[in-house]
Amino acid sequence: MSGKALARLLGFGTAAAMALTQSSVGFVRDEGYYFAAAQSYEAWLRLLWQAPLQALAQTERYWSYNFEHPGLIKLLFALSHLCFSSSVGDTLAWRLPAFAFAGLISYWLCLLGQSRSRAAGVLAPLLFWCAERTFFHGHLACFDIPICAMTAGVAVAWLRGGGPWLAFLYGLALSTKHNAWFLPPVLLVHALLLAREQRIAKLRLLPWLLLSPLVLLATWPLLWHDPLRHLGDWIAFHTHHVHYAWYYFGEVLRGPPFPLFYPLVLDALVLPLPIAALLSAAGVKLLVDFARRRLDAQRLLELGLAGAAVLPFMLRTTPIFGGIKHWLAFLALLSPEAADLVVRIAPSPSLGALAALLPGLWQIAHVHPYGTSAYGELAGGIPGAASLGMQRQYWSNNVTAVLPWLNAHCPPGARVYFHEVNVESYRAYQLAGMLRGDLRYAPSPTNSDYAALQWHREFRDREPETWNAYGTRRPAFGLYLDETPQVIVYARPGFPGAP
Amino acid sequence: MPLRLPSERDWAEAAGALRSSARPGDAVQIWPAWAERARMFVDAAPLLAEEDLAQADYVGVQRLWLLSLPRAPYARNPQGALRARGATAASQEQRFGALALQPWDLHAPQLAADLTRADEEHEVDYVARRCLRLAIGSRIASRGAAGRILHFRAGIIGERAYDKGRPPIVVQIFSGGAPLGVLAVDGPGWRKLDVELPSGPEERDFLFAVSSPDAARPFCLQGWTTR
């Protein structure tokens, strides 16, 4: 099997694994918004088919929703839904493009790994995916896995591709998420640090990136009218992003300055210990070799892109919410080097791979689909993280654990307070058949018959509020991961299921 | 990890033991404070999830049952904090699988009067507190046994406690028309004021008046006297 065929096989295998394990993964808050955006964009696509001129004139109406992210990924969600929803259902249809990007991560990491050895090529994507946090993110119709994939793709294109391919891939990255803004400076510095011949070749490649915004323009119809205003809104949203409360070592962080090493510490705590150790060793090895001027062009680029993925979150002012999802490319770009370390150090590559991957596979088997709750051995697992005072969960997707109970117990038309589950995700659960259509969305515990509370340090007031409203302190049901409360269900006394 | 954590059976057995041994005036403190799955099982006494066992008030509690997960990762030993407040173990620790249950005598001064008599609970500084929610600008009058010391607690409920640049909420406390003390709540936390009561009649009137230029924040208070 050729190297590319092996990479393709790993890519398809990854996408298939995501598709096969997605049904239990809840809809994260952001997905609710992106589903709504995709529905709006799908309506525009239908209009484009029926009345193209009208569609071109009405881009603002259909594309203004979720203006803070470029159009490409949500357009893919919409196209996928348009084509496949009748055969695979709404949820899977929206998420299919995300699985393709998950596959692309494996494909490109395999190619990067294979420049060291074939074994490193196989192991690099496995090291990235064999952790519940990354595996979980691979399932979501969001932008974090796509931008991670596109960062790896731009790396491969920069190292091996021609100008047009690089311009196209960087255009796709730019059209995926604003993390892409950081890539051109890395490529420039990378070019400047290369030996003379390579430097000249790469500096000649760089101007091709000037064409990349055309891809952004083509895939984001919102920019077709008044582009400067919309670009300004996009940039301003992220340069003035709100800070969400985040629980970290017993303290709720609400605003800057954030801890300097926050992203590195969090990686160490949430990843399975062998993977955290290997990625740390890979980072140190790349840095040491950089200092000794022993890095070839590829390893230098991997170091640069990994650094560019994580360093913005060490500025102490960048919003830090969202676990490790915002710097997934940091882990991805260190994976090939980490894979190489395993191959070199372990007595046999298979044994080394087994030792490196087994704890992560156990973590996935044990915690999936509750990925935002996963913690590794260094944190003492989920209960250890609770004792340390770490963020218990985020994004509300864990609510899937209690939906079957609610479906079974709630009387017709019951009012359910879903807490952090937004209206968009609530509707998506009903659309997907995971929540009964007659159950109503209650705005507060006081106005509800049932409450599904998600444990968040900053929302601790909701539970006493529910006790006061219901007159009971005893939960009816709950999701407890390794004893830690995640989602606690209360039922108003007298209602079915109440204790 | 499963060996370090309690099973459903462990919880049921511990709850059963509490049912047979708990008496009025007892409370159950879970440890670590996150182990609130206990709420599904324990019904023999009020269940508390205080985070600072050395400083918690435990109003009216004479005997505290410590229900803990001693093998939970990174969980601190709670017994030192209880000893630091003068509590002593009332009997041997019982084990139910990965759960430990032990009664502690708090040797707390006897409750003279619960002046705020709150049925409701509110979260202040991340702990559910039995306190009375009061609108800013209002007052509450209460009559009760004076005892020796008036204990007063107050705080802003929920996340609004972390609003920056807000004026303090001030509580003035009177007894029989005479001022007893003032507590200013200028941010997060469960603020404390303990005042030795001057000698006088056993039954007295108390008045708590809450004021602030910013009336938007939810606020709650608790007051009691001890002998």
Concatenating the DSSP letter of every residue in A409-463 gives HPPTT-EEE-TTS-HHHHHHHHHTTSS-TT-EEESSGGG-SEEEEE--GGGTTHH
DSSP summary character for residue A486? E
Measured in angstroms, the CA of A224 and the nearest CA of chain B are apart by: 41
- Quick check: is A407 in a domain? yes
Judging contacts by C-beta atoms under 8 Å, the chain A residues touching residue B157 are 461
| 3-state secondary structure (DSSP) of residue A250 | coil
- Quick check: is A139 in a domain? yes
**Pair (A418, A293) in one structural domain:** no
**Pair (A214, A295) in one structural domain:** yes
- Reported ipTM: the value is 0.96
Residue in A closest to B158 by C-alpha:
A461
**Pair (A341, A404) in one structural domain:** no
Note the pLDDT of residue A110: 98
Task: Specify the number of domains making up chain A.
Answer: 2
Note the pLDDT of residue A54: 96
Are A458 and B32 inside 8 Å of each other by CB? no
**A361 pLDDT more than 80:** yes
Mean pLDDT within B11-20: 98
> Is any Cβ of chain A less than 8 angstroms from the Cβ of B9?
no
Note the pLDDT of residue A1: 86
Q: With pLDDT > 70 as the criterion, what percentage of chain A qualifies?
A: 100
Note the pLDDT of residue A184: 98
Are A475 and B39 inside 8 Å of each other by CB? yes
Judging contacts by C-beta atoms under 8 Å, the chain A residues touching residue B120 are 464, 467-468
Q: For residue A424, how many C-alpha atoms fall within 13 Å in the half-sphere facing its CB?
A: 19
The terminus-to-terminus CA distance of chain B in angstroms comes to: 47
CB-based burial of residue A408 (10 Å sphere; 0-12 exposed, 13-18 middle, 19+ buried)?
exposed
CA angle B121, B125, B130 (to 5 degrees): 20
**Pair (A293, A405) in one structural domain:** no
> Is any Cβ of chain A less than 8 angstroms from the Cβ of B1?
yes
**Pair (A287, A404) in one structural domain:** no
Q: How far is the C-alpha of A485 from the C-alpha of A460, rounded, in Å?
A: 12
Mean pLDDT within B22-50: 97
β B139-145/B203-211 pair status: antiparallel
Are B34 and A387 inside 8 Å of each other by CB? yes
**Pair (A245, A327) in one structural domain:** yes
SS (H, E, C) chain B: CHHHCCCHHHHHHHHHHHHHHCCCCEEEEEECCCCHHHHHCCCCCCEECCCCCCCCCCCCCCEEEEEECCCCCCCCCCHHHHHHCCCEECCCCEEECCEEEEEEECCCCCEEEECCCCCCCEEECCEEECCEECCCCCEEEEEEECCCEEEEEEEECHHHHHCCCCCCEEEEEEECCEEEEEEEECCCCCEEEEEECCCCCCEEEEEEEEECCCCCCCEEEEEEEEC
- Quick check: is A362 in a domain? no
Provide the mean pLDDT of chain B. Answer: 95
Token pair listed for A151: 């960062």
**Pair (A321, A404) in one structural domain:** no
> Is any Cβ of chain A less than 8 angstroms from the Cβ of B92?
no
Q: Which of B14, B224, B31, B23 is nearest to B129 (CA)?
A: B224
Q: A29-73, pLDDT tens digit by residue?
A: 899 999 999 999 999 999 999 999 999 999 999 999 999 999 999
Buried b (16+ CB within 10 A) or exposed e, A34-64: bbbbbbbbbebbebbeeeeeebeebbeebbe
CB-based burial of residue A20 (10 Å sphere; 0-12 exposed, 13-18 middle, 19+ buried)?
exposed
- Quick check: is A140 in a domain? yes
Are B120 and A468 inside 8 Å of each other by CB? yes
Q: For residue B223, how many C-alpha atoms fall within 13 Å in the half-sphere facing its CB?
A: 32
Note the pLDDT of residue A349: 87
**B14 pLDDT more than 80:** yes
**Pair (A90, A191) in one structural domain:** yes
> Is any Cβ of chain B less than 8 angstroms from the Cβ of A250?
no
- Quick check: is A485 in a domain? yes
| 3-state secondary structure (DSSP) of residue A245 | coil
Q: B57-73, pLDDT tens digit by residue?
A: 999 999 999 999 999 99
Residue A404's domain comprises 397-491
Q: A452-488, pLDDT tens digit by residue?
A: 999 999 999 999 999 999 999 999 999 999 999 999 9
Last residue of a domain, one of A304, A321, A345: A345
Note the pLDDT of residue B193: 97
**Pair (A422, A300) in one structural domain:** no
Judging contacts by C-beta atoms under 8 Å, the chain B residues touching residue A468 are 120-122
**Which of B36, B74, B128 has its CB closest to that of A388?**
B74
Q: A151-208, pLDDT tens digit by residue?
A: 999 999 999 989 999 999 999 999 999 999 999 999 999 999 999 999 999 999 999 9
- Quick check: is A381 in a domain? no
Note the pLDDT of residue A124: 98
Q: Which amino acid is at A145?
A: I
> Is any Cβ of chain B less than 8 angstroms from the Cβ of A473?
yes
**B2 pLDDT more than 80:** no
DSSP summary character for residue A175? T
Are A387 and B39 inside 8 Å of each other by CB? no
> Is any Cβ of chain A less than 8 angstroms from the Cβ of B203?
no
> Is any Cβ of chain B less than 8 angstroms from the Cβ of A251?
no
**B85 pLDDT more than 90:** yes
Q: Which of A390, A360, A399, A371 is nearest to A279 (CA)?
A: A360
Note the pLDDT of residue A301: 98
Q: How far is the C-alpha of A268 from the C-alpha of B26, rounded, in Å?
A: 42
The band of A393, judged by pLDDT with boundaries at 50, 70 and 90, is very high
> Is any Cβ of chain A less than 8 angstroms from the Cβ of B122?
yes
Judging contacts by C-beta atoms under 8 Å, the chain A residues touching residue B128 are 460, 463-464, 467
**B204 pLDDT more than 80:** yes
> Is any Cβ of chain A less than 8 angstroms from the Cβ of B3?
no
- Quick check: is A241 in a domain? yes
Provide the mean pLDDT of chain A. Answer: 97
| 3-state secondary structure (DSSP) of residue A241 | coil
Are A458 and B6 inside 8 Å of each other by CB? no
Mean pLDDT within A321-349: 95
Residues 370-389 in A contacting B (C-alpha not used; CB under 8 Å)? 379-381, 383-384, 386-388
- Residue A142 · residue A77 · CB < 8 Å: no
Measured in angstroms, the CA of B72 and the nearest CA of chain A are apart by: 7
What are the φ/ψ torsions at residue A409 (nearest 5 degrees)?
-105, -30
**Which of B1, B128, B162 has its CB closest to that of A381?**
B1
Count of all residues that appear for chain A in the document: 499
**Pair (A405, A339) in one structural domain:** no
> Is any Cβ of chain B less than 8 angstroms from the Cβ of A243?
no
**Pair (A135, A203) in one structural domain:** yes
Are B120 and A488 inside 8 Å of each other by CB? no
Note the pLDDT of residue B146: 87
Q: A272-299, pLDDT tens digit by residue?
A: 999 999 999 999 999 999 999 999 999 9
**Pair (A228, A162) in one structural domain:** yes
Note the pLDDT of residue B176: 85
Note the pLDDT of residue A321: 86
- Quick check: is A169 in a domain? yes
